[in-house]
Amino acid sequence: MDIVDFLSERITEDEAAARTLLTDRTVSVAAEWYERRLLLECEAKRRLIGIVESARQAALAAMVSGASGDGHLVPASIDWMSQSLNALALPYFEHPDFNQDWLRR
């Protein structure tokens, strides 16, 4: 499983948990605030993953086509993009599908 698929699945799980709790009438106002915030954080993560993944795919395509110009810029860009995705995966390190290689900086 690649990191984008892994993150997408975990975010979907987080959203489902938040939505379930929001329908629970016994949830306190503070818990309701937290669950609404969790939904917004899920959306923010999805947007960030989309931005980073689009840039990563464009950089890989440029590298493969030889259109990257500076030979050092594209690999460095791909590295920071991978590090960004790895950072987003960190909260899920205990999940069985988590790849320990994602812990590297």
Nearest-CA neighbor of 86 among 96, 98, 74, 77? 98
Mean pLDDT of the chain: 89
So what's the pLDDT on residue 37? 93
Q: How far is Cα 52 from Cα 33, in angstroms, rounded to an integer?
A: 29
Q: What is the pLDDT of residues 3-47, one digit of tens each?
A: 999 999 999 999 999 999 888 888 898 888 989 999 999 999 999
Residue 104 tokens, joined? 């590297």
Contact 77, 59 (CB under 8 A): yes
So what's the pLDDT on residue 27? 80
Contact 7, 85 (CB under 8 A): yes
So what's the pLDDT on residue 72? 67
